[in-house]
A = this chain, B = another copy of it.
Amino acid sequence: MTLRGRKKGETVPQGVVVRLPVYFRYLAELEAAGAERISSAQLGEALDFTAAQIRSDLSYFGSFGQQGYGYNVTDLLDQVKQILGITRDYSIVLVGAGNLGKAIGSYEWFRDEGFQIKAIFDIDPHLIGNYHVGCIIRPLDELTAYLAENPTDIGIIATPKDAGQSVCDLLVEGGVGSIWNFSPTHLNVPDEVIVEDMHLTDSLLRLVFRLNEQNLGQEQA
């Protein structure tokens, strides 16, 4: 990946990382709908961002637009795919084959975009041996041996809270460099390991906080 616009070593702000997938999603929708061009103003209107922010975000990675025209939808989509890194496949292990784990594993979009769940692990004897999305569910005991044989990009933790950290440790020791964490606990990992949290409980609590904040405002008015 060439980083035309970005100086070497300059880190990308967190906000940009959050917005890039949003751009990707909407550009994919636009392309599917047959749209040819889009301006930063139109993008901003559709996604509730300012046009300046979108141009500023994109300029971290290069110059993808044309004055007086805007952006070509297909070109920009390709660029964003490049930037995000969804140009190759990723190998994944899923730990935890309960309701949530199974739902994650069944998500078609992942498979379509090259995210391949290669193995599933659980501790529940009732689940072990069953098949899910083409994978046999294996005992957690075998995780370490599996990782030694099969280099893995991403580990998904879909276990209850109590098991989160110990499963995380097994994954990290096994050389997995990034963790997608659905277990509702804070994971401690070495600096070089990436953790992306997907805390359903936190999200619902943010919603409730804002709901009350709003009602409070209305009471005072």
Q: Which residues of A contact B (CB under 8 A)?
A: 1, 8, 11-12, 17-18, 20-22, 24-26, 29, 46-48, 83-86, 90, 98-100, 102-104, 106-107, 109-110, 115, 153-154, 161, 177-178, 180, 184-186, 192, 194, 196, 198-214, 216, 220
Q: Are B196 and A207 interface neighbours, CB within 8 A? A: yes
Q: In the complex the two chains form, what is the Cα distance from A97 to B98 in whole Å?
A: 16
Q: Are A18 and B208 interface neighbours, CB within 8 A? A: no
**What residues on B are CB-neighbors of A186 within 8 Å?**
22, 25-26, 46-48
Q: In the complex the two chains form, what is the Cα distance from A194 to B25 in whole Å?
A: 21
Other-chain residue from B21, B185, B208 in contact with A84 (beta carbon distance below 8 A): B208
Q: In the complex the two chains form, what is the Cα distance from A86 to B24 in whole Å?
A: 35
Taking A21-B205, A103-B103, A104-B200 as given, write out 11 further A-B residue pairs in contact, using a Cβ cutoff of 8 Å, ordered by the A residue number.
A20-B209, A21-B202, A21-B203, A29-B161, A85-B208, A85-B209, A86-B205, A154-B207, A177-B211, A178-B210, A196-B206
